[in-house]
Amino acid sequence: MKFRTLGYFFGEAFRSLGKNSWLSIASIATVAISLLILGSSVMMVLNSQYWVQTLASDLEIAVIMDVDTPAGQVKMVGDKLRNHNLVSEVTFVPKAEALTEMRQKMGDRGDYFRALGDQNPFPDLFRVKAKDPRDMAVLAGEFQGYQRVERVLYGQGVAENLLNLSYWVRIGGLVVMGLMGGAAVFLIATTIRLTVYARRQEVGIMKSVGATNWFIRWPFLLEGMFLGFFGSLVAVSLLFAAYAVACHYIQTALPFVAVRTDPAFLWQIFEVLAAAGVAIGAAGSMISLRKYLHV
Amino acid sequence: MKFRTLGYFFGEAFRSLGKNSWLSIASIATVAISLLILGSSVMMVLNSQYWVQTLASDLEIAVIMDVDTPAGQVKMVGDKLRNHNLVSEVTFVPKAEALTEMRQKMGDRGDYFRALGDQNPFPDLFRVKAKDPRDMAVLAGEFQGYQRVERVLYGQGVAENLLNLSYWVRIGGLVVMGLMGGAAVFLIATTIRLTVYARRQEVGIMKSVGATNWFIRWPFLLEGMFLGFFGSLVAVSLLFAAYAVACHYIQTALPFVAVRTDPAFLWQIFEVLAAAGVAIGAAGSMISLRKYLHV
Amino acid sequence: MIQMHKVTKAYPNGVTALDDVTVRIQKGSFIFLVGPSGAGKSTLTKLIFREEVPTRGQVLFNGKSVNRMRAREVPFLRRQIGVVFQDFRLLPHKTVFDNIAFAMKVVEASVKKIRYRVPEVLEMVGLATKVNVYPHQLSGGEQQRVCIARAIVNEPLLIIADEPTGNLDPDMAREIMTLMLEINRRGTTVVMATHAREIVDVMRRRVIALEGGRIVRDEEHGSYEQKRGPAR
Amino acid sequence: MIQMHKVTKAYPNGVTALDDVTVRIQKGSFIFLVGPSGAGKSTLTKLIFREEVPTRGQVLFNGKSVNRMRAREVPFLRRQIGVVFQDFRLLPHKTVFDNIAFAMKVVEASVKKIRYRVPEVLEMVGLATKVNVYPHQLSGGEQQRVCIARAIVNEPLLIIADEPTGNLDPDMAREIMTLMLEINRRGTTVVMATHAREIVDVMRRRVIALEGGRIVRDEEHGSYEQKRGPAR
Ligand SMILES: Nc1ncnc2c1ncn2[C@@H]1O[C@H](COP(=O)(O)OP(=O)(O)OP(=O)(O)O)[C@@H](O)[C@H]1O
Ligand SMILES: Nc1ncnc2c1ncn2[C@@H]1O[C@H](COP(=O)(O)OP(=O)(O)OP(=O)(O)O)[C@@H](O)[C@H]1O
Ligand SMILES: [Mg+2]
Ligand SMILES: [Mg+2]
């Protein structure tokens, strides 16, 4: 293939884009809508996973000492916890603090603690964070065996539930993404198939003056790829705009929900969508052309 | 217009559906995908609204009596509450029960209540449900004025928040539905536009042998409406199947979430989607034909 | 029946296809339009059934202005005119039968009449055996004859035939001409654009010669070319 | 150059367009294909550039079997053959220039050559003024000439012309025939299906007459119709 033929291919692709402008716009819009759906589900999945991870890493194990443990022994247990290689963080909550905390948690009804007078029925305790939340069950079991530890609490199953949830969110997200991706390819294949269908006569004429299949294919293929790419640009712009708004809203209204806003993440999303757009456009063109090339 | 011409219109519409079978399938699939998206957002909105409503109607006002109120006066207040015409339900929670309940709520740490010995610092109280959750603020103010009522609690703003949420869910849902509906019309208009574009030559020929615009339009219009209708059938089938699965899952996994499964609701959804499908098909055809009828 | 008064047609790209043409065509007449390729013959016929509108001037059909006609009336104008298009214009997704039946359905003819009339006209143009095939399955001449059959099927007041014998062998061309004459004898006006010298010279009807968009000759019993001495 | 051996072509709908045709066409010859509408002329030409494949029999082009050829080779066969299609087959979204240039781009001709050659062939067919218009903006005869220009632009080994003068006036037809003869004189083989009796009779070249899919006549210096007495 000579270089000038390459130029011809690009020229044809662009000319066709310009000439069938409303058709091009429709195709771009279709790609954009599909990728928008795809993109938002990707973002939702990644974010909810991220949130669950953040949540999970906030989970802690409460190691409660016997009420009457001497301070020395409490310190020993604390050191042991701090030096454990699966533990990332240990906070000590002395008796006094525990009482205050409890009162706060009880809110209005906490007033009734006044009935307790000066007694402090609370023990010393440690809040322990695991490096990997999945180790919590193991750690809890281990801590239980330490001396003068009355009991170990770690959310009574919340951690497992959250981790489970994260797993299901990932699975569900993959399913949704798969479906949406399929729908997108289908929509674009349909669109491009129709444009090729509308031009089947032309394809026949080209073949009858001696054009090879690839000579006919390339301009269509490039056209499809450009359409896909432009569509992904539109999708990314809209998606990022909507995401910025959503992030702002979430961060003010639901501050405890973690969202990802780092440029690397956004760039990755852009890359994925652009690649998907181009691939979808190319795939759509190829699928559509197969039928009409047997002239 | 003569009756036989009507027959011709239907005949043409069906022949074209059959002849361009893959095109028909593509269009039906497009309609189905669009309506599926539309339908799921409708269902999600309606269900979340329903859930919020159910939640809100579960909300109650706690009317807390002075700790030392004599039983007679407590009963009087109870009667007054029960006879109030905005109140739907009143439950009496005597002191003893309140203590037990409190202990349960405190879970393990509740053990520390043992320190209280035989003292019961809790008052008698009533749990009151309003007929309409929106009246709660007014009722709470009124109850506050009753004799020997120490204080009135009603979720410290939870009710308002939920009602607010319900409002925002409705608004958000309408926005999503509007967008999805628009996308659906656009996709279908594009599809039908392309089929008409592929047949623009035919339209020109028809006009040049003396066919009126409506004579040309009707078969296309009927074709579009059939495509839309079949698409909505597919969408409804898939939607209901998915909904059945989702309901089953939700009812076992999240029993506190209320879902609507009454046939009237499903029938309504079907009607809305079928009408939307037909309307979308017709609109798509009309939009598409406009351009090529000026031959 | 047709009157053109100082008609000029310039296409949007600047080509002037007709230039100040004035012509009057009587009801029941048989007219040949001749002239070199690109002279404006097809353009002239297109003005009559309003496929094109003139840039300047007036076109009247049965006393009614064609170029000032409202869009709603155009189909009813066209139903009075049977056109044999130079490029055939057959509906590709309809069989020969349905192509012709379509022209009848447009005027809401009865199913019975369609069943009777379509085979009849196909017989006239010698295509009785090709009722149920699609246009792309026909030879060039056969397509042309389907187009002729469609033009005559509704017994229009006027038949416009643009090069109706271009793809036909001389025998078939003669038959088609006989058919046209027969139809003309029954009162239908016929306007035919043609390059078939033999036919024009034999028939000796009114000949309007165009060249570069102008009428250069209009003879009552004319020949294909300017007479030089006696007719051969 | 072309050999057909016992070739039968039956279309899927059962029509037998060619029936046991055996013919041999020498390199450099000029051949007329005549016969009534639907005789099988177009079908015969379509077998040569493999638009259709025969139901039975062999078609050879330059000693190579056309009907057994692999799909990949077909474009290269077609590039050796310039075809004037009966239905023109111009690309509707390309200008006259681009329609012809397309045939050159297919063979990867240089931009310089295209710029030089396209106006040259348009000049030959008398369309120098219509370089930048689209096919639908041309008259029937002009479209036909664009198709002729496209067929000759790559200087093919063989030119197949299917009714190339059907939409042309006699003067223009004569010019085109002169052009074809000129090209033939330079060594190009020409196969022309035609109904133009005058042209065939004047040129006195080899005439192959088809009727109902069979060769009914094959004369070295033939006329359009069976000779009855001396040529007129
Ligand atoms: N749609 C159009 N746009 C621009 N120019 C046009 C259009 N149609 C025709 N022309 C030009 O107008 C002139 C007359 O065209 P017309 O089709 O009337 O010729 P004609 O006499 O029918 O020729 P032929 O015998 O070749 O069919 C030609 O030069 C042609 O190129
Ligand atoms: N694709 C097709 N499918 C079915 N039948 C066909 C097809 N093409 C041509 N035929 C039939 O084959 C026969 C020969 O057709 P062909 O086109 O070869 O005729 P022709 O000699 O070129 O006629 P003309 O002079 O009218 O162009 C005709 O009866 C025609 O109806
Ligand atoms: Mg013309
Ligand atoms: Mg032919």
Mean pLDDT, to the nearest integer, of D88-108? 91
Chain A residue nearest residue D114, CA to CA: A4
The Å distance, Cα B206 to ligand 1 centre, comes to 22
Interface of D with A in 167-226 (CB under 8 A): none
C182-216 pLDDT per residue, tens: 999 999 999 999 999 989 999 899 999 999 999 99
pLDDT at D36 over 60: yes
Confidence of residue B290 (pLDDT cuts 50, 70, 90): confident
Confidence of residue B13 (pLDDT cuts 50, 70, 90): confident
C171: left (phi over 0), alpha (psi -120 to 50) or beta: alpha
Asked if B121 is an interface residue toward chain A (Cβ–Cβ < 8 A), one would say yes
pLDDT for res B253:
64
| Shortest Cα–Cα distance, B180 to chain C (Å) | 35
A25-58 pLDDT per residue, tens: 777 877 787 788 778 777 777 777 777 666 666 6
Confidence of residue A233 (pLDDT cuts 50, 70, 90): very high
Find chain B residues with C-beta within 8 A of C91's C-beta.
Answer: 202, 205-206
| Shortest Cα–Cα distance, A122 to chain B (Å) | 8
Q: Do C141 and D169 touch (CB under 8 A)?
A: no
- Rounded distance between C-alpha atoms, residue A42 and residue A257, angstroms: 17
- Pick A190's closest partner by Cβ from B26, B193, B198: B26
- To probe the interface with B, which of C72, C78, C85, C114 has the most B CB atoms within 10 Å? C78
Chain B residue nearest residue C100, CA to CA: B209
Confidence of residue D232 (pLDDT cuts 50, 70, 90): very low
pLDDT at A158 over 70: no
- Pick D169's closest partner by Cβ from C133, C145, C195: C195
Mean pLDDT, to the nearest integer, of B25-41? 77
Confidence of residue B110 (pLDDT cuts 50, 70, 90): very low
pLDDT at C232 over 50: no
Decide: helix, strand or coil at residue B63: strand
pLDDT for res A23:
67
pLDDT for res B295:
47
Chain C residue nearest residue D38, CA to CA: C139
More confident position, C219 or A189: C219
Q: In ligand 2, which atom is closest to the CA atom of D33?
A: 21
CATH class of A60-154: alpha beta
Asked if B85 is an interface residue toward chain A (Cβ–Cβ < 8 A), one would say no
The Å distance, Cα C41 to ligand 3 centre, comes to 6
- Rounded distance between C-alpha atoms, residue A205 and residue D88, angstroms: 10
Q: In ligand 1, which atom is closest to the CA atom of C195?
A: 25
Q: Do A153 and B108 touch (CB under 8 A)?
A: yes
**SS3 annotation, chain A:** CCHHHHHHHHHHHHHHHHHCHHHHHHHHHHHHHHHHHHHHHHHHHHHHHHHHHHHHHHCCEEEEECCCCCHHHHHHHHHHHHHCCCEEEEEEECHHHHHHHHHHHHHHHHHHHHHHCCCCCCCCEEEEEECCHHHHHHHHHHHHCCCCEEEEECHHHHHHHHHHHHHHHHHHHHHHHHHHHHHHHHHHHHHHHHHHHHCHHHHHHHHHCCCCHHHHHHHHHHHHHHHHHHHHHHHHHHHHHHHHHHHHHHHHHCCCCCCCCCHHHHHHHHHHHHHHHHHHHHHHHHHHHHHHCCC
B248-287 pLDDT per residue, tens: 877 776 666 667 778 888 888 889 889 988 988 888 788 7
Q: Is the CB of D216 under 6 A from ligand 2?
A: no
More confident position, B61 or D79: D79
Q: Do A23 and B197 touch (CB under 8 A)?
A: yes
pLDDT for res B133:
72
pLDDT at C154 over 70: yes
CB B35 within 8 A of CB B231: yes
pLDDT at C4 over 50: yes
Q: Per mean pLDDT, which range of A272-281, B118-127, D55-64, D150-159 is the poorest?
A: B118-127
Q: Per mean pLDDT, which range of A8-22, C80-94, C205-219, D86-100 is the poorest?
A: A8-22
| Shortest Cα–Cα distance, D154 to chain A (Å) | 11
Confidence of residue B46 (pLDDT cuts 50, 70, 90): confident
pLDDT > 70 in chain D, percent: 97
pLDDT at B76 over 70: yes
pLDDT for res D175:
87
CB D158 within 8 A of CB D88: no
- Pick C172's closest partner by Cβ from D36, D166, D170: D36
Q: Per mean pLDDT, which range of A83-87, A128-132, D35-39 is the poorest?
A: A128-132
Asked if A168 is an interface residue toward chain B (Cβ–Cβ < 8 A), one would say no
CA distances from C72 to A3, B220, D161 (A): 54, 19, 43
What are the beta bridge partners of residue A149?
A: A65
pLDDT at B131 over 90: no
- Which chains border C (3 or more CB–CB pairs < 8 Å)? B, D
| Shortest Cα–Cα distance, A4 to chain B (Å) | 31
pLDDT for res A188:
63
The Å distance, Cα D208 to ligand 4 centre, comes to 14
The Å distance, Cα D156 to ligand 1 centre, comes to 29
pLDDT for res A110:
45
pLDDT > 90 in chain A, percent: 3
- To probe the interface with A, which of D48, D104, D108, D153 has the most A CB atoms within 10 Å? D108
pLDDT for res C20:
93
Q: Per mean pLDDT, which range of A94-98, B229-233, D77-81 is the poorest?
A: A94-98
Asked if C53 is an interface residue toward chain B (Cβ–Cβ < 8 A), one would say no
CA dihedral in degrees (A258, A262, A266, A267; nearest 10)? -150
Q: Per mean pLDDT, which range of B143-157, D16-30, D71-85 is the poorest?
A: B143-157
pLDDT for res A131:
81
Nearest residue (by CA) to ligand 2, atom 28, is D38
Nearest residue (by CA) to ligand 1, atom 5, is D137
Chain C residue nearest residue B203, CA to CA: C91
| Shortest Cα–Cα distance, D86 to chain A (Å) | 13
Q: Is the CB of D36 under 6 A from ligand 2?
A: no
Size of interface B-C (CB pairs under 8 A): 52
Asked if C195 is an interface residue toward chain D (Cβ–Cβ < 8 A), one would say yes
Confidence of residue C217 (pLDDT cuts 50, 70, 90): very high
Asked if A2 is an interface residue toward chain D (Cβ–Cβ < 8 A), one would say yes
Q: Per mean pLDDT, which range of A102-111, B94-103, D55-64 is the poorest?
A: A102-111
The Å distance, Cα C40 to ligand 3 centre, comes to 7
pLDDT at C231 over 50: no
Interface of D with C in 36-55 (CB under 8 A): 36-38, 41-43
Q: At what angle do helices C96-106 and C111-124 cross, to 10 degrees?
A: 130
Instruction: Kindly give, in sequence order, each residue whose CB lies less than 8 Å from that of residue B129, ignoring residues fewer than 6 positions away.
Output: B57, B58, B59, B60, B61, B87, B88, B89, B90
- To probe the interface with D, which of A15, A19, A209, A212 has the most D CB atoms within 10 Å? A209
Compute the mean pLDDT over every residue in chain C, rounded to the nearest whole number. 91
Confidence of residue C6 (pLDDT cuts 50, 70, 90): very high
More confident position, A2 or A224: A224
More confident position, A295 or C88: C88
Chain B residue nearest residue A190, CA to CA: B26
User: Which residue ranges make up each domain of chain A?
Assistant: 3-55+161-293, 60-154
pLDDT at D68 over 60: yes
Asked if B215 is an interface residue toward chain C (Cβ–Cβ < 8 A), one would say yes
A189 is written with which tokens?
């294949």
Q: Do A116 and B115 touch (CB under 8 A)?
A: yes
B219-241 pLDDT per residue, tens: 888 888 888 899 899 989 988 88
pLDDT > 90 in chain B, percent: 3
Q: What is the pTM of this model?
A: 0.75
pLDDT for res A82:
87
- Pick B19's closest partner by Cβ from C91, C93, C103: C93
The Å distance, Cα C33 to ligand 2 centre, comes to 29
Asked if C9 is an interface residue toward chain D (Cβ–Cβ < 8 A), one would say no
pLDDT for res A160:
59
Q: Is the CB of D13 under 6 A from ligand 2?
A: yes
